[in-house]
Structure 1
Amino acid sequence: MSALENIIIAGATGSVGAPILKALLEEPSLNITILTRTGSSAKFPEGIPVKTVSDAYTVKELTEAFEGQDAVLVALSTGPVTKDDLALRIIDAAVAAGVKRFIPSEFAANNLDPRARKLVPVFDAKGRMLEYLQKKAYESNGKLTWTSFSCGSWLDWGLNPAKSGNFLGIDVKNRKATVWDSGDSKFTMTTARNTGLAVVRALLKPGETANKQVFLNDFLTSSNEIIASLEKQTGEKWNVERKESKPVMEESRRQFDAGDFNAVYPLIALSFVGDIEVGHNFPKEQKIWNEQLGLPAESFDGVIKEAIELANRG
């Protein structure tokens, strides 16, 4: 397959997009363009081309923005990309513009796994997005290809309250944590930096990664293992509260079904840390791409040490 050199990224400054953009800009063989919307106040690195579309994200203007691009990379946050068929319009525009590779906004669960889709509405919405992308790629007779990335949760992001709001229920600064159910459920975690690097390496290997789900795994761990490392490295006994996930999951689902979109975030978090089988143990069920993409080995205790140092700096 021909090289993918011209890359346009949507959502470049968000929690998902920022580490990916950093990795893209560090690869000199890639030409990066940023897609933004009129109503955005985001600031971008100097010297990077920016294409602006209206807040409506119409297929027409998206198609114009994608013309001449080899790959479209979507790193928009969970809310926008799963509402109003935005993801489908972006895919339609990529097809119309003759884009060769499409990377959807996944970067968490295996969104084709029926267990995950049944439990968390956002996983189901992203699963429908990926199915639509696969259909369009098939109908293009090979003109459009895709690569999706499933990296579990991000350990560095999850322990940074400014970025994740203590997504894992672990408050490093105040030395306290909530453990859901047994705390022994194993789930995949990756670092944000290795996720960004994986995207770059996949773009540089277009033939190997065409029409593939790429599963990443830096660490297979549990809440209890994370807290044990935190206690060992801080030399302190933490205040740990134990709760059952089922009542919270049920209430969050009721709230979501009643129209509260924000109720989806506890569902996402608990799908990782609760005793719930949703396929987040990637090494058990999936091919892991870290070695094939040449990703450096990350240190579990090292990432936790970074989180402690960040918390100590305030």
Structure 2
Amino acid sequence: MISTVLVAGATGDLGARIVRELLGDNSHPATLVRVLTRPGSGTAQGMYAREDRVEIHEAAYTDQSTLTIALSGVDTVISAVSGASTVILDAQRVLLAAAVDAGVKRFIPSDYSADYRRVTPGSNRNFELRREFAADLDAAPLRVTSVLNGAFTDMLTGQAPMILFARHRVLFWSSPDQVLDFTTKDDVARVVALVALDADAPRVVEVAGDRVTARDITRTLSELTGTPFTTQWAGTTGTLSAMSKIGRFLSKDKNATFPAWQGMQYFVSMFSGEAELHHVDNERYGPHNWTSVRDVLQAHLQRTTVDSK
């Protein structure tokens, strides 16, 4: 039986990885992938025009009728769009309405985060957008599966200033023993592709490539570098939450996807324990070599050493 999966946001970082998994060696050969792209954008053509199992459909996220045509015959919609309210709420709402009109059976929203369901109102904008859209999903006449994976492990070596490599410090808020959930984008993409082909997937699938504390990260970095790293208290989550609110008030672009104040809010959610995953099921789709925090840090340190030569 042929299964048709549509990926919205397929030219983005995570979306492209999901498409790759859907077309990979481990996918079902009868899986067809539709890529949704905005009118006039040639990016999707450049990425997927040579793929025999990929169809490219142009539609604006404001045009429900055209979206409905693009979704005709689709079994599962995967949303991998990224943004603030105009994307997570406005665009996805139109995409959801079109999916219902087209008779799509299943919808995977663009969650891919820690557990946003229990965070304190006002403490995390991006989580609240997902929680608001979840109410729309639960009222829609189709099956929905959200994938929750903690934070992307990649952020530890990029935009999240938790690790001060030059100063050999690992920052923490409130407690260095709070469990933090991390999963790489590649591992998340694999799970999303498998969920898309799993007709019995539950409302939420939780996975975590690794579960560590600030102390664990400190110990790992000390072992990898041969230089002692130490934890450094950066304040309480309450203080960080207050700082994020000030940063948001002073921000010139309040609709940015991941401004500095939103990063603060993410750490508040993680270090407070509110967004911790409690039903991780890494074995749902069989054995897998999950990429650990240690793997990511080791690769980063090796790249840094090479670049410095």
Band of TM-score, shorter chain: 0.7 to 0.9
Displacement of 1:294 in angstroms is 1.4
The structure-2 alpha-carbon separation of the partners of 1:11 and 1:250, relative to structure 1 and needing over 3 Å to count, comes to same
Q: Is 1:69 aligned to residue 63 of structure 2?
A: no
Q: Which residue of 2 aligns with 1:30?
A: 31
Secondary structure (helix, strand or coil) at the match of 2:281 reads: coil
Displacement of 1:191 in angstroms is 2.4
Q: Which residue of 2 aligns with 1:50?
A: 56
Number of aligned residue pairs: give it. 290
Residue of structure 1 aligned with 2:99, choices 75, 94, 98: 94
Q: What is the correspondence of 1:1-314 to structure 2 with a 5 Å cutoff? A: 5-26=3-24, 27=27, 28-38=29-39, 40=41, 42=43, 43-45=46-48, 46-47=50-51, 48-54=54-60, 56-79=61-84, 80-82=86-88, 85-113=90-118, 115=119, 117-137=121-141, 144-155=142-153, 157-161=154-158, 165=159, 167=160, 169-170=162-163, 174=166, 176-181=168-173, 182-207=175-200, 209-210=201-202, 212-238=203-229, 242-244=233-235, 245-256=237-248, 260-261=254-255, 262-271=259-268, 274=271, 276-280=272-276, 282=277, 285-286=278-279, 288-298=280-290, 300=292, 301-314=294-307
Cα distance in 2 for residues equivalent to 1:268 and 1:16: 22
Contact persistence 1:11–1:74 (CA under 8 A)? yes
Superimposed CA distance per residue, residues 226-249 of structure 1 (whole angstroms, 9 cap, x where no aligned partner): 232122111123486541143332
What TM-score does the superposition give when structure 2 sets the normalisation length?
A: 0.83
Secondary structure (helix, strand or coil) at the match of 1:106 reads: coil
The structure-2 alpha-carbon separation of the partners of 1:246 and 1:220, relative to structure 1 and needing over 3 Å to count, comes to same
Cα distance in 1 for residues equivalent to 2:144 and 2:172: 36
Q: Which residue of 2 aligns with 1:141?
A: none
Identical amino acids, percent of aligned pairs? 22
Displacement of 1:74 in angstroms is 0.4
Contact persistence 2:187–2:291 (CA under 8 A)? no
Superimposed CA distance per residue, residues 54-82 of structure 1 (whole angstroms, 9 cap, x where no aligned partner): 3x532122112111111110011132523
What TM-score does the superposition give when structure 1 sets the normalisation length?
A: 0.82
Query: Any stretches of 5+ residues in structure 1 without a counterpart?
Result: 138-143
The structure-2 alpha-carbon separation of the partners of 1:237 and 1:189, relative to structure 1 and needing over 3 Å to count, comes to same
Superimposed CA distance per residue, residues 82-140 of structure 1 (whole angstroms, 9 cap, x where no aligned partner): 35x22211111110111111000000022322x25542122111111111111013xxx
Instruction: Give the alignment's Cα RMSD to 1 decimal.
Output: 2.6
Cα distance in 1 for residues equivalent to 2:299 and 2:209: 16
The structure-2 alpha-carbon separation of the partners of 1:92 and 1:277, relative to structure 1 and needing over 3 Å to count, comes to same
Contact persistence 2:146–2:205 (CA under 8 A)? yes
Displacement of 1:190 in angstroms is 1.8
Contact persistence 1:111–1:127 (CA under 8 A)? yes
Cα distance in 1 for residues equivalent to 2:80 and 2:109: 7
Query: Any stretches of 5+ residues in structure 2 without a counterpart?
Result: none
